[in-house]
Amino acid sequence: MNRLQNAFDNRKRELLMTFIVAGDPDYATSLDIMRTLEEGGADIIELGLPFSDPVADGPVIQQADHRALSAGMNTDRFFSLVRDFRKSSDIPLVVLTYTNLVLQRNIDNFYQDAADAGIDAVVIADLPFEEAGPYIAAAETAGISPVMMVSTTTSKERLSGILKVNSGFIYLVAALGVTGVRQTTDQNARKLLAELKSLTKIPIAPGFGISDHTQVQEWGDAGADAVIVGSALVKKIGEYYTRQDLLIKEITVFVENLKNQT
């Protein structure tokens, strides 16, 4: 029934969660990329519903958002894309977006539409626990897993509140700053992972700055239940989207490389 929970329950090693922006560079190519990710071994696909003002994102994902929006992506088309993809796939799907896009559709409608399209979980990058009440309630009504974020700057008091939410997984912000490729791993984030593992049974998925197989494996060894790779993949799309012939091949190689290590 619950694709996401099944994936976590049946995992042998850490799961690979790959992030792309929906509609980047366009609707049809995006659909091809999603299929390629699944065939290449991604265990979960995280789809960015692009927003005009993505304050949590670095330049790579900002540009992807811009490409997608310029090609006509919007919330209606986003759900069409998910429905089209769902016709031939049962992979867990997570949405990452910003508060205003959920709010403007009407919170309840957004989660219901997401559930109807086949989305399993929703992460909202600018929605801290304090503001999340109506969103969590709407998610639960629709049968969607809300996903809360935790970072190394999250206080103990707030963390205890966040851990009470029945999250599909906890998105561990593995690096201070915006999304984007980083060379080194923040040791405080590693410590936070260990702390979270001792406090909760909710799966933990680090993301932000994780870009290659070595980092994925390190996080897996450290106990992560899933590892999120975003900007490094989106960067490939940015490099190759004008070369349709090479794009799919590049993505296949990229995701297989990540996966071979998990």
Partner 1 sequence: MQLNTRLGKYGGCFVPETLMGALEELELAYLNILPDPKFQEELSEYLTSYAGRETPLTLCKNMSRDLGCKVYLKREDLLHSGAHKLNNALGQALLAKHMGKKRLIAETGAGQHGVATAIAGAVLGLEVEVFMGEVDIARQALNVARMNMMGARVIPVTSGTKTLKDAMNEALRDWVARVGDTHYLIGTVAGPHPYPTLVRDLQRIIGDETRRQIMVAEGKLPDVIVACIGGGSNAIGIFHAFIDDKNVRLYGAEAGGEGLDKRHGASLCGGRPGVLHGNYSYLMQDSFGQIIESHSVSAGLDYPGVGPEHAMHKDSGRVTYHAVTDTEALEAFLYLSRTEGIVPALESSHAVALARKIAPELSKDSVMIINLSGRGDKDVETVIRYMEEKA
Closest to partner 1 by CB, 38 vs 113, is: 113
Q: Measure the CA dihedral 82/57/258/228, to 10°.
A: -70
Site string for partner 1, 55-74 (x = CB under 8 A): xxxxx--x------x----x
Identity of the amino acid at 199: L
DSSP label of 152: T
Closest to partner 1 by CB, 154 vs 185, is: 154
DSSP label of 229: E
Active site residue 140: no
Closest to partner 1 by CB, 172 vs 247, is: 172
Rounded Cα distance between 227 and 236, Å, is 18
Among the listed residues 38, 46, 120, 186, the single catalytic one is 46
Q: What is the enclosing helix (H) or strand (E) of 173?
A: strand 170-173
Closest to partner 1 by CB, 54 vs 220, is: 54
ω into 25 cis (within 30 of 0): yes
- Work out whether 150 is an interface residue with partner 1 (CB under 8 A): yes
Helix (H, G, I), strand (E, B) or coil at 124: strand
Among the listed residues 14, 38, 43, 57, the single catalytic one is 57
> Sheet harboring 145-150: ordered strands across?
204-207, 170-173, 145-150, 121-124, 93-97, 44-48, 15-21, 226-229
Identity of the amino acid at 54: P
Site string for partner 1, 162-191 (x = CB under 8 A): -----------x--xxx-------------
Q: Rounded to the nearest whole angstrom, what is the least distance from the CB of residue 74 to partner 1 in the complex?
A: 5
Active site residue 157: no
Active site residues: 46, 57
- Please give the residue ranges that form the binding site for partner 1 (CB under 8 A): 51-59, 62, 69, 74-76, 98-101, 103-105, 125-128, 130-131, 148-151, 153-155, 158, 173, 176-178
